Amino acid sequence: MQNIGSKLFGLLVVVLLATLLYLTVFSDGLGKAPAITINDTQGQAIELNRPNKPILVNFWATSCPGCIAEMPHLAEMKEQFGDRFEMVAVSMDYDPAEQVQKFIKNNPYPFIFVRDTDGAIAKAFGDVLLTPTSFLIAPNGNIVYKQIGEVQFDLVKERIKQMSPQL
C-alpha cells in the first residue's frame, strides 16, 4: 500500500513539473499583445504585437493621483534604458482632450503619449477600466507583466534587463 502511495506522489510531482515547464516555456503567459499600431515620437510605426524591444503600455488619466505620481518614475525608467525600451502612456477615452493636452505640454516626459479617443485600445487590452493599469510586452509580442495599480518598478526593470541582456 505504501508503494502505491509513493508512486502516486511521484506521478503527481512529474505532472506538476511538466505543467510548470509548459507554462513557463511553451505558453504565451498572459497572452499576446493586441495587433495595434502606434507611432513613436519620430513618427515610426510600432506594432504592439511585434515591438522588437520591451515596451510598457501604461493606461492613465489626469484624474488619477496614482497615475500622475508614477509618471516621473516611468520617465526615469525610460531614460535608464534608452532606446532599448519603449514606454507608451495611453490616456483613457473619458479623459477630456484639453486636460490631457495641457498635462502633456506641462510635463514633457520622454515617452510616447497616445489618446484612446474611442476606448478601442483599452478594449483590445481586455477592457481596461481602472487606472493606472500597465502591460509589459516582450519583443516577441507576449505580455509578460500586467499590473492594475502602480507599477512595481524593481520587478519591471528586472524583466526588461532579462529581455535585453546587452543593457
Predicted local distance difference test score (pLDDT) of residue 24: 44
Do both 89 and 118 map to the same domain? Answer: yes
CB 93 within 8 A of CB 60: no
Q: Are residues 111 and 149 in the same domain?
A: yes
Same domain for 38 and 71, yes or no, is yes
| CB neighbour list of residue 159: distance below 8 Å, 6 or more residues apart | 54, 136, 144, 145
Are 55 and 109 found together in one domain? Answer: yes
Q: What is the 3-state secondary structure (H, E, C) of 60-102?
A: ECCCCHHHHHHHHHHHHHHHHHHHHCEEEEEECCCCCHHHHHH
Assign residue 84 the CATH number of its domain.
3.40.30.10
Query: Are 49 and 101 within one domain?
Result: yes
Q: What is the number of structural domains in the chain? A: 2
**Residue range of the domain that includes 4:** 1-29
Asked whether residue 64 falls in the same domain as residue 91, the answer is yes
Tell me the residue type at 166: Q
**Per-residue pLDDT at 21:** 44
pLDDT of residue 30: 79
Low-confidence spans in the chain with pLDDT less than 50: 20-21, 23-27, 167
| Domain identity same for 25 and 35 | no
